[in-house]
Amino acid sequence: MTTVPSTSASAVTAPAADARVLGLAHYAARGVLEHVLARHGLTFQEQIVLHAAATADAPRTPDDLVTEVQGSLKADPAVLRATLGELLVKRLLVQDGARLRPTDTGRELLAAARAELAPAAARIWGGIPAGDLAAAGRVLALVTERANAELAALEV
């Protein structure tokens, strides 16, 4: 039986949220995700690109996928194009004219990784009061908006 820690976020003595605390949480959670993905032969970046293709309403062009993922990951477009190539070689994406679509194998791999990750995600997120999650979501959305604005100003 899987147990969820009973400690609520409000009962934990923690530092105020800042870039370091955010980064530590991100890398801890990403470490769990990457461990699971590795068992399925996927990298973090491959999973992000494959997920973007699999959740699109219709097959996307390589440029569309690169633009979408670059906006999220802030990754080099050339690196993302290489990731598309890796997914094509692994037959997790397939060329459909000028567009790419996930293969059944790609969709199944995403589903298997998601199913394997679900118990850990429940342990990580479980027991956090909804109000705390909502407050954290608002703060993180604002931080993301401001950081994206700063990045855009740097790229001008």
Mean pLDDT for 86-96 is 97
106-127 tens-digit pLDDT:
999 999 999 999 999 999 999 9
What is the pLDDT, as a whole number, of residue 1? 47
pTM of the model: 0.84
Residue 72 to residue 19: CA distance in whole angstroms: 18
Task: Give the phi and the psi of residue 95 in degrees, each rounded to 5.
Answer: -75, 130
* pLDDT tens-digit map of 50-61: 999 999 999 999
Q: Which residue spans within 21-156 are E strands per DSSP?
A: 93-96, 99-102
- In sequence order, what are the beta bridge partners of 106? none
